Amino acid sequence: MGSLQDLIIFLFVPFIASLLLAIPVVYSLGIACAVFLLVSGTRIPPIIIATEMYAAINVVALLALPMFVMTGELLNRCKLTDRLILLSRQLVGWLRGGLAHVNIVTSMFFAGISGSVLADAASIGPLLIPSMIKEGYSRAFSAAVTASSSTIGAIIPPSIPLIIVGGQLQISIGGLFLAGVIPGIITGLALMFVSYLICLWKGFGLRHPFEGVRATTMHTVRAAPVLIIPIWILGGILGGVFTPTEAGAIAVVYTILISTLFYRTLSLSDFFGAIDSTVRVTASALVIVAIAIVFGRILTFHQFPQQLVDIVLFFTENKFVLFLAMVVLFLFVGTFMDALANMIILGPMLMPLALQGLDIHPIQYGMFLMYALLLGIITPPLGLVLFVVSPIADVSLERTSLAVLPFLFAQLLVLALIVFVPEITLALPRLAGLL
Amino acid sequence: MQLGGLADLLDRMIRIATGILMVILVAVMVAQVFYRYVLNSSLTWSEEVAVNLMIWVVFLGSAILVRRWEHVQIPTVVQASPAGLRTALIFLARLASMACMVVFLWFGMEAFFGSHHATSFTTGISTRWIKLSIPVGAALMLVYATLLLLEDIAALRANDTKRFETVTPPRSNSIQDQQR
């Protein structure tokens, strides 16, 4: 167990201390790796800091990330969210708690295009929260609906976190994309159900009368060029026609075409702005991937994942207890730290434990990992998205935290379904022959 | 502030460079799709070139992020500390990060000058030119971090406590810099 002690003293302690001191995640990881490699007397040569960082992102599958980031950036700049909201209003606005449902359904549409949770909360929030408050929904409820529905962004493909998870755990990204479809839809429906109950109980929300088939058709046609993007991306991957990376490249070109020819809302400066943001987002995500792999290599070299399996399974082999323990861990670290960095560090570390202890498929594990870590960012009191939506609704963090609890609970149930009902995630990838 | 002007020039140059790399990256991937599905002949070099471009974008882009301290971080604890301690912790975080950049630079150079390089079959480019992105990126990070630190010290001398209210320097500052 000597090496376990070394890992704790020279790797985990410096890492956590650096994080708490607000040293950026990438440098916290770098400092921890450097301390361990230079001080602990390990047999790993310290040059892996550079060579493994290079190897970590010298991966073709990761090319999908800049592609989908750019697609999302371009679409955001041509004010597409408005159109999605108009369409959602036609589709679900007539239900009790109309705008709450509109909020959730817009997130589902948005998720099929962008792949980012914060982008979702930050772009839908300012558009819908004010109108929700005006129609008599409480501020906290409006913020909570926006926060919890934004997590769908990463579940419904294309999803930026899923690209990272797939690259990291060596799971087919196409398979993960397909695995996210059903959980994404279930999550949407679960959130709508919870909002329906809350609106009924508290008497929130006007119903918007259905404006007739003509209006619905009109809004569908207007949003159609955007709405078909996820359909052909998924169709292409499902049919084995193109890889996720190629789908991303096609999506970029397609987006440029529809935004200049059909919507005519994309200016040249928008285009340059989109490229600039794509560089920033790509660099900020992948540089963490690069150094986190070095961290992971150190852990695997010293057989930490396997030691962890032995220790944990020594205490319990009960699947449900294991599931709860992992969920608590994911939610806890998920509220503290960026979901992406967590996926990269914890993903491979806990994979043997999950596969052996919970007896689940790697694709299922990938979904479980990402979903649980995402819930971390809406978990009170530190969840990142809560900090984004509360100021938009002009309500205290405490009130949003309370209001988000019923939604969080519903999503935890969906999480349990993902782990205990394999077909929810595995049916579509199996259909595509990706298992 | 002449230093700020120089930094902005450097900033603009790196942003243009990464922007161009990014556009080429997308173009290469689009060409791959076009060749495979329209011309029915696959390009052998496209994915490799695109990945190499991406690696350069990542390390150069990370340097840009240092300029405004935009790398992902967890400011909760520092933000909750009293003002004096907070200023000290912010300086500590900057210096510790710079130490890490030196580590990246050092081992990046060692890898670049080392002998474990392969030459690509499809493009004929040695991987050493791709690994070069790590020390170059780290060196630029150090330049930006030093500039940031100098601005911090200037703010401390001028008793500008506002700068240290958040870990990330306030944005208004940077816009003024750009206008100068």
- Tell me what ipTM this predicted complex has: 0.90
Measured between beta carbons, which residues in chain B are less than 8 angstroms from residue A30? Answer: 100, 103-104
To the question of pTM greater than 0.95 for the whole model, the response is no
**CA angle, residues B77, B82, B83, in degrees to nearest 5:** 110
Residue with tokens 């926060």: A147
Mean pLDDT lowest for which of A74-83, A189-198, B53-62?
A: A74-83
Look at the block and give the residue holding tokens 């479809």.
Answer: A181
Question: CA-to-CA distance for A366 and A375, rounded, in angstroms?
Answer: 14
Q: pLDDT at residue B179 above 60?
A: no
Q: What is the pLDDT of residue B173?
A: 41
Q: What letter does residue A10 receive in the DSSP assignment?
A: I
Cβ within 8 Å, pair B103-A23:
no
CA angle, residues B171, B177, B180, in degrees to nearest 5: 145
In this prediction, residue A115 carries a pLDDT of: 60
B139 touches chain A (CB under 8 A): no
Cβ contact (<8 Å) for B19 and A338? no
Q: What is the mean pLDDT of chain A?
A: 85
- A54–B101: do the CB atoms touch at under 8 Å? no
**A339 → chain B, closest CA residue:** B72
Chain B residues lying within 8 Å of A249, measured CB to CB: 26, 29-30, 32-33
Q: Could you identify the residue written with the tokens 């009902």? A: A421
CB atoms < 10 A from the CB of B84, how many? Answer: 10
Which one, of A278, A291, A280, lies nearest residue A26 by Cα?
A291
Distance, CA of A404 to CA of A129 (rounded, Å): 15
Contacts of B92 in chain A (CB under 8 A): 21
pLDDT at position A344, please?
Answer: 83
What residues contact A232, with CB distance under 8 A and at least 6 apart?
Answer: none
| B window 34-73, beta carbon within 8 A of A | 36-37, 47, 50-51, 54-55, 57-62, 64-65, 69-73
Residue-level pLDDT at B177: 37
Q: Do B72 and A20 touch (CB under 8 A)?
A: no
For residue A70, which residues of chain B lie inside 8 Å, CB to CB? 22, 26
Q: Which residue in B25, B100, B167 is closest to A27 by CB distance? A: B100
CB–CB of A50 and B104 under 8 A? yes
- The pLDDT, as a whole number, for residue B24 is 95
Tell me how many degrees the CA angle A356-A358-A364 measures, rounded to the nearest 5: 100
- For helices A117-134 and A139-150, give the axis angle rounded to 10 degrees: 150
| pLDDT category of residue B2 using cuts at 50, 70 and 90 | low
Beta strands in A239-339 (DSSP E): none
Q: Does the beta-carbon distance from A25 to B62 stay under 8 Å?
A: no
Report the C-alpha gap between A50 and A52 in whole angstroms.
Answer: 6
Residue B27 in contact with partner chain A when CB distance is under 8 A: no
CB contact under 8 A, B32 and A287: no
Residue in A46, A53, A63 nearest the CB of B51 = A63
A-B contacts (CB, under 8 Å): 182
Instruction: Round to whole Å and give the CA distance between B163 and B167.
Output: 8
The reported pLDDT for the residue numbered B175 is 35
The tokens for A148 are 């919890």
The whole-angstrom separation of Cα A336 and Cα A121 is 19
- Evaluate if residue B6 carries a pLDDT over 70: yes
More confident residue, A196 or A134: A196
Q: Does B93 touch chain A (CB under 8 A)?
A: yes
